[in-house]
C-alpha cells in the first residue's frame, strides 16, 4: 500500500511569534512529495503583514466554536482543502496551530480522523493556549511542540503526558546573517562609527525584559556616552519603553527600529545583545544573537540557562534589576576579549542545535510519522528529558 497523502492545514493568527512565523514561511516554501499544505489566517488581522502565501483569511461573525468551525469549513471548501479521500481512502489530515489566538479555531475544527499539533513558547500559559483542554479532549491525537527543554519539562511537571509532546528546536538560518549589510543598517538607524551598539532582541514584551534593558542602558549611558540602544519593532511594551526614554530626557541614546529591520539585521549590528527576561520567555532572538556570535548579557532564568552559562558563553545577572544589568553590561564591554571568546563559544553551540534546514526536516518527519500512525517518541527526545523536572530550580 502506498503512503497516505498528507494534508496539513496551518492555522495562524496575528499573535504568531517571530520564530514561528519564520518556520511557517519556510515550510510553506518547501515542496514535498505526498504533502499538501494550506495556510489559513484566522480571526481579525492584517494578513499581508505576515508575508505568507495564504489560502484564505477566515473570520467568524461570532467568535464561538460553532461559528469558527462553520467559517473554516466554508473556507476549506472554497480552496479545495476538503477534497474527498483518494480511492483507497488513504489520507491523513493534520491541523497545525501556530499561535495562542489560533488555538480556539484548531479546537473547533479538530475532530475524528485528524491530528492536532500546536506550538508552545517558554513561559506560555497552558490554560490560555487551550493546552490541557486539547490534550484531555483526545489524548491519542494531540501533540504539543515545545522549542526548549525547559518548556518540555514544565509540561511534564504539570501532568501533560510525555506522549503528548515533542521537543523541536527553533531553526536559525545563518545565510540571513551573512547577507546583512551592517553599514547600511547602521546608517538607517542613525548609528555612527564611534557608537557602541546595544540591541534588545525581539519580542518586545514585559516577559522578555525590554523595559528593564532600556532602564539599564540609560544608566550605562551616564558612564559610557557612546552607548546607543536599539529597540525592535512591535509589541505593546514599546510604548512603555518610549515613555521611559522621554521621561529620562535621553532620547538620543535609544533608536527604535522599524518593521523593515529583521532580527538578523538587529543582531548583526550589535556590539552587545541584552536579553533580560524576568521569567521564562520566548528565546528566538537570543538564539539569533548566539548564532551571530555576539556577546550577550542576559538574566539567569531557566529558559536562558538551558543555553547559556555565566562566564562560559555569556554574562548573566539577576532578573528585574536594572542596576545589576548595567554593571554587567559595563563589565562585558570592558572585558571585550573575554566577551568575544564567549560569544564564539555560544555561536558554535547554537549552530549544531538550531539549524533551519534541520528544523524543517523535523517538521516533515513529524507529519510523516503521524500519517503512518507512529507517535513521535523514540529518537525525538534528548536523554536529559528523563531527569526530574527542574524548571523552577
Widest distance between CA atoms in the chain: 74
More confident residue, 40 or 352: 40
Euclidean distance between CA atoms 72 and 56, whole angstroms: 9
Answer whether residue 143 is part of any domain: yes
Q: Does residue 87 lie within any of the structural domains? A: yes
Tell me what pLDDT residue 69 has: 87
Q: Which of 130-139, 208-217, 266-275, 340-349 has the lowest mean pLDDT?
A: 130-139
- The candidate with the shortest Cα–Cα distance to 22, out of 358, 356, 304, is 356
In which element (H, E) is residue 63 found?
none
Q: Would 339 be classed as within a structural domain?
A: yes
Q: Which pTM value belongs to this model?
A: 0.87
The model's confidence at residue 388, banded by pLDDT at 50, 70 and 90, is very low
Which cell numbers hold the place of 100?
Answer: 495562542
- Asked whether residue 391 is assigned to any structural domain, the reply reads no
Closest residue by Cα to residue 294 from 249, 253, 350, 238: 350
Is 379 domain-assigned?
yes
d(C-alpha 347, C-alpha 335), whole Å: 18
Under 8 Å between Cβ of 49 and 21 = no
Cell of 292: 551571530
Q: Which residues contact 275 (CB under 8 A, 6 or more apart)?
A: 200, 201, 208, 209, 213, 285, 286, 289, 296, 297, 298, 299, 304
Same domain assignment for residues 100 and 70 = yes
DSSP code of residue 314: B
- Do residue 142 and residue 225 come from a single domain? no
* pLDDT of 70 over the 70 cut: yes
- Return the CATH number at 378: 3.40.50.2000
Rg (CA), the chain: 22
Do 133 and 83 share a structural domain?
yes
Q: What pLDDT is stored for residue 108 in this prediction?
A: 82
Torsion angle of the four alpha carbons 271, 272, 273, 277, in this order, in degrees rounded to the nearest 10? -160
**Is 128's pLDDT higher than 60?**
no
Higher pLDDT, 86 or 351: 351
Pairing of strands 272-275, 296-299: parallel
How many C-beta atoms surround the C-beta of residue 118 within 10 A? Answer: 25
Distance CA 216, CA 329 (A): 8
pLDDT score for 141: 83
Q: For residue 203, is the peptide bond before it cis, meaning its omega torsion is within 30 degrees of 0?
A: yes
What is the distance between the alpha carbons of residues 13 and 50, in angstroms, rounded to a whole number?
10
Average of per-residue pLDDT values in the chain: 86
Asked if residue 393 belongs to a domain, the reply is no
Instruction: Report the candidate in 36, 105, 121 with the shortest Cα–Cα distance to residue 367.
Output: 36
Is there a single domain that holds both residue 239 and residue 326?
yes
Give me the number of domains the chain comprises: 2
DSSP string, 98-135: -SHHHHHHHHHH--TTEEEEEE--TT--TTTTTHHHHH
126 and 192 in a single domain? The answer is: no
Say if CB 59 and CB 30 are below 8 A apart. Answer: no
Whole domain around residue 246: which residue ranges?
174-353
295 shares a domain with 378:
no
124 and 265 both lie in a single domain: no
**Residue 153 near residue 389 (C-beta atoms within 8 A):** yes
Q: Which position has the higher pLDDT, 110 or 322?
A: 322
Query: Whole-angstrom Cα distance, residue 10 to residue 75?
Result: 13
Residue 160 has pLDDT above 60, yes or no: yes
pLDDT (average), residues 277-288? 92
- Structural domain contains residue 392: no
Residues 52 and 186 in one domain: no
Q: Please indicate, yes or no, whether residues 45 and 105 belong to a single structural domain of this protein.
A: yes
Q: What backbone torsions phi and psi does residue 61 show, to the nearest 5 degrees?
A: -55, -35
Q: 198 in helix, strand or coil? A: strand
Distance CA 146, CA 182 (A): 33
312 shares a domain with 363: no
- Residues 332 and 273 grouped into a single domain: yes
Return the pLDDT at 11: 94
Asked whether residue 115 falls in the same domain as residue 178, the answer is: no
* Domain-located, residue 63: yes
Amino acid at each position: 500500500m502506498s503512503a497516505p497523502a498528507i494534508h496539513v492545514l496551518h492555522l495562524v493568527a496575528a499573535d504568531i511569534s517571530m520564530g514561528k512565523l519564520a518556520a511557517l514561511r519556510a515550510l510553506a516554501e518547501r515542496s514535498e512529495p505526498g504533502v499538501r499544505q494550506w495556510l489559513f489566517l484566522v480571526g481579525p488581522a492584517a494578513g499581508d503583514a505576515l508575508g505568507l502565501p495564504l489560502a484564505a483569511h477566515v473570520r467568524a461573525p461570532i467568535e464561538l466554536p460553532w461559528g469558527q468551525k462553520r467559517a473554516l469549513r466554508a473556507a476549506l471548501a472554497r480552496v479545495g482543502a476538503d477534497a474527498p479521500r483518494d480511492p483507497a481512502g488513504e489520507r491523513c489530515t493534520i491541523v497545525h496551530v501556530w499561535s495562542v489566538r489560533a488555538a480556539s479555531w484548531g479546537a473547533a475544527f479538530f475532530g475524528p480522523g485528524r491530528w492536532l499539533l500546536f506550538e508552545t513558547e517558554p513561559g506560555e500559559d497552558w490554560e490560555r493556549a487551550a493546552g490541557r483542554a486539547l490534550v484531555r479532549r483526545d489524548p491519542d491525537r494531540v501533540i504539543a511542540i515545545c522549542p526548549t527543554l525547559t518548556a518540555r519539562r514544565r509540561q511534564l511537571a504539570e501532568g501533560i503526558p510525555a506522549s503528548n509532546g515533542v521537543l523541536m528546536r527553533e531553526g536559525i538560518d545563518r545565510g540571513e546573517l551573512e547577507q546583512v549589510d551592517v553599514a547600511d543598517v547602521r546608517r538607517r538607524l542613525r548609528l555612527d562609527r564611534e557608537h557602541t551598539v546595544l540591541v534588545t532582541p525581539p519580542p518586545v514584551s514585559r516577559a522578555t525584559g525590554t523595559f528593564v534593558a532600556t532602564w539599564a542602558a540609560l544608566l550605562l549611558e551616564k558612564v559610557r556616552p557612546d552607548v546607543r540602544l536599539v529597540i525592535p519593532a512591535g509589541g505593546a511594551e514599546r510604548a512603555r519603553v518610549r515613555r521611559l526614554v522621554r521621561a529620562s530626557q535621553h532620547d538620543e541614546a535609544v533608536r527604535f527600529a522599524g518593521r523593515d529591520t529583521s532580527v538578523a539585521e538587529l543582531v548583526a549590528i550589535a556590539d552587545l545583545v541584552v536579553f533580560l527576561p524576568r521569567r521564562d520567555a520566548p528565546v528566538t532572538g537570543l538564539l539569533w544573537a548566539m548564532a551571530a556570535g555576539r556577546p550577550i548579557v542576559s538574566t539567569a532564568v531557566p529558559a536562558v540557562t538551558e543555553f547559556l552559562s555565566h562566564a562560559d558563553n555569556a554574562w548573566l545577572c539577576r532578573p528585574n534589576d536594572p542596576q545589576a544589568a548595567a554593571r554587567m553590561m559595563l563589565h562585558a564591554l570592558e572585558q571585550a576579549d573575554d566577551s568575544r571568546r564567549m560569544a564564539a563559544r555560544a555561536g558554535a553551540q547554537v549552530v549544531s542545535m538550531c539549524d533551519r534546514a534541520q528544523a524543517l526536516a523535523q517538521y516533515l518527519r513529524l507529519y510523516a510519522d503521524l500519517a503512518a500512525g507512529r507517535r513521535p517518541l523514540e529518537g525525538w527526545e534528548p536523554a536529559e528529558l528523563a531527569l526530574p523536572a527542574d524548571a523552577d530550580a
